[in-house]
Amino acid sequence: MSVSATRVRFAPSPTGRLHVGNARAALANWLFARKAGGAFILRLDDTDRERSTEEFARGIEEDLAWLGLDWHEHLKQSDRLPRYAEAAERLQEKGLLYPGYETEEELQLQRAAQRRRGLPPRYDRSALRLTPADRARLEGEGRRPHWRFKLPDEEAAWADLVQGDKRIPGGELSDPVLLRSDGQPLYTLTSVVDDIEIQISHVIRGADHITNTAVQIALFRALGAEPPVFAHLPLLVDAEGHGLSKRLGSLSLESLRTEGIEPLAIAAYLARLGTGDPMEPVESLDELATGFDLTRYSRAPARFDPEELKRLSIATMHRMPFERAAPRLAALGIANARPEFWDAVRENVEALSGPKSAELLHWHRVCHGTLPAQAPADPAFAEQAVALLPPEPWDGETWARWSEALKRATGRKGRALFEPLRLALTQRSHGPELRNLLPLIGHARAAARLRGEPA
Ligand code: GLU
């Protein structure tokens, strides 16, 4: 494997399902790899044993597959614990890892005091001043140390593909804890060890990781590796400019899926949000990949608008070719759907799954199934309508010929003519063009429905 090859990773923690924020990171990595002909790696950051579950891991994989994102390699951090221990040892040998004995409460108090004085919360490095005797005493009290990485005092600088030139003064960063007192390695370390060993070329993630990047760049170097290229996507915010975190439940991929939102619409929406590109339907993920360019993202937070996503989902469905719709129709219980059916109804329905797909089932019953009996409002008119039904075969012109003949025979026109026919044939006052529906309904059903019989 050449080190210049494009290799990216999506690294969710299996402590919940995917929401639109991390789905966007997944998608950006996938599209980037796709465009470059590189590899997209799925890495489960599951070292937090209390919060990670197998069930969430499977859920994340299911969500990614539903979105259409496949991976070339798959790994999970819990399989790689010896690698992290070995890296920690190397840091220790270099004198870059030091033990701290503060409890979480003590550290919290320290941060609160700093905030009160208007200072950024930053570890004061008091553990570095402990003498061997101090340590022996603390250990004697039964305290087990956590281990911190000693950051260099220099500024962190990188050319970010989205954020431009970033510079973070060393004085603003806090020495990160790499190992907990129970020995569990933490994200800052595990992520860098993996990014080095699996030869990640580009790290693409949300702007909430910018400070982590400043710290991790130092860690890459301390472990003897050149850092990858970084790209930090703008944060997603709601209409009021707040982070989406409080509403994550409703913005999980799982809930969007249940609602019947099209996965391709989610992909198009998330890929384009913050780029200024128009929110128009796409045919495929490949179409998105072709136009994908990280430098098009604005640095400003991007406003996530669920209504705009819904509109894009509907437009995506309306444009969906029959071949792509057919398996979805089958999943709804509409087996052997005909292209004519899909073409007749697609622009009048809003979803291929979820609660709104009930409309699709209704239109399928209208065209190919049975509607319950419904007495005609005007039996005499209905009888005339039956009598004037042209003989089969029917085509796209049948409706015009029939309604024209009825108009001449009855003197009715406009709504008075069309509404009773539409109601009798479809049991709805609005819907797809009757010229398209009629040939699918056929003579036998049409005649029976006009008479008020179940058909
Ligand atoms: N597990 C981390 C997260 O979900 C990964 C961040 C990264 O991409 O490095 O935030």
In a domain, 373, yes or no: no
- Examine the domain organization and report whether 390 and 415 are in the same domain: yes
Q: Determine the atom of ligand 1 nearest the C-alpha atom of 191.
A: 9
Number of Cβ within a 10 Å radius of residue 172: 12
Which amino acid, residue 202?
H
Q: Determine the atom of ligand 1 nearest the C-alpha atom of 205.
A: 8
For every residue of 284-328, DSSP letters joined together read -HHHHHHT--GGGS-SSPEEP-HHHHHHHHHHHHHT--HHHHHHH
Angle of helix 434-451 versus helix 414-426 axis, rounded to 10: 70
In a domain, 407, yes or no: yes
- Examine the domain organization and report whether 228 and 86 are in the same domain: yes
CB proximity list for 293: less than 8 A, separation 6 or greater: none
CA of 189 relative to ligand 1 center, distance in Å: 12
Cβ 281 vs Cβ 316: under 8 Å: yes
Structure token digits, residue 359: 């409309």
Q: Sort strands 177-179 and 146-149 into parallel, antiparallel or unpaired.
A: antiparallel
- CA 405, 410, 413, 418 torsion-angle sign: negative
Q: Determine the atom of ligand 1 nearest the C-alpha atom of 22.
A: 4
Between CA 153 and CA 185 the distance in angstroms is 23
**How confident is the model at residue 2, as a pLDDT?**
46
In a domain, 330, yes or no: yes
- Does the predicted TM-score (pTM) go above 0.85? yes
What is the CATH number for 215? 3.40.50.620
CA of 85 relative to ligand 1 center, distance in Å: 20
- Examine the domain organization and report whether 91 and 211 are in the same domain: yes
Report the chain's terminal Cα–Cα distance, integer Å.
65
Q: Determine the atom of ligand 1 nearest the C-alpha atom of 195.
A: 9
Residues with CB under 6 A from ligand 1: 11-13, 45, 187, 191, 205, 209
Burial class (CB in 10 A: 0-12, 13-18, 19+), 50: exposed
Structure token digits, residue 222: 């301390």
- Examine the domain organization and report whether 88 and 211 are in the same domain: yes
Between CA 247 and CA 241 the distance in angstroms is 13
Cβ 263 vs Cβ 66: under 8 Å: yes
CA distances from 136 to 139, 141, 220, 277, 279 (A): 5, 9, 32, 61, 63
Between CA 84 and CA 93 the distance in angstroms is 14
What is the CATH number for 431? 1.10.10.350
- Reference 8, options 19, 31, 22; nearest CA is 31
Rg over alpha carbons for the chain, rounded to the nearest Å, is 31
Q: Which of 8, 9, 10, 13 to mutate for ligand 1's pocket (most ligand atoms within 8 Å of CB)?
A: 13
Which residue segment(s) compose the domain that 357 sits in?
Answer: 320-368
- Examine the domain organization and report whether 278 and 347 are in the same domain: no
Number of Cβ within a 10 Å radius of residue 377: 12
- Examine the domain organization and report whether 14 and 89 are in the same domain: no
Q: Which of 45, 76, 203 to mutate for ligand 1's pocket (most ligand atoms within 8 Å of CB)?
A: 45
Block means of pLDDT (10 residues each) for the chain, 455 residues, are 76 96 97 98 96 97 98 98 98 97 94 91 94 96 97 96 96 95 96 98 97 97 98 93 72 95 98 96 97 96 96 97 96 95 97 96 97 96 98 97 97 96 98 98 98 97
- Examine the domain organization and report whether 163 and 223 are in the same domain: yes
Q: Determine the atom of ligand 1 nearest the C-alpha atom of 11.
A: 5
**Count of structural domains, the chain:** 4
Between CA 67 and CA 261 the distance in angstroms is 11
Note the Cα 73 to chain centre separation in Å. 20
- Examine the domain organization and report whether 119 and 202 are in the same domain: yes
Cβ 289 vs Cβ 34: under 8 Å: yes
Closest residue by CA, ligand 1 atom 6: 11
- Reference 80, options 232, 172, 196; nearest CA is 196
* 430 three-class SS: coil
Between CA 256 and CA 353 the distance in angstroms is 11
- Examine the domain organization and report whether 290 and 328 are in the same domain: no
In a domain, 2, yes or no: no
Between CA 213 and CA 225 the distance in angstroms is 14
- Examine the domain organization and report whether 202 and 214 are in the same domain: yes
- Examine the domain organization and report whether 241 and 218 are in the same domain: no
**How confident is the model at residue 249, as a pLDDT?**
62
Structure token digits, residue 126: 């008091």
- Examine the domain organization and report whether 114 and 224 are in the same domain: yes
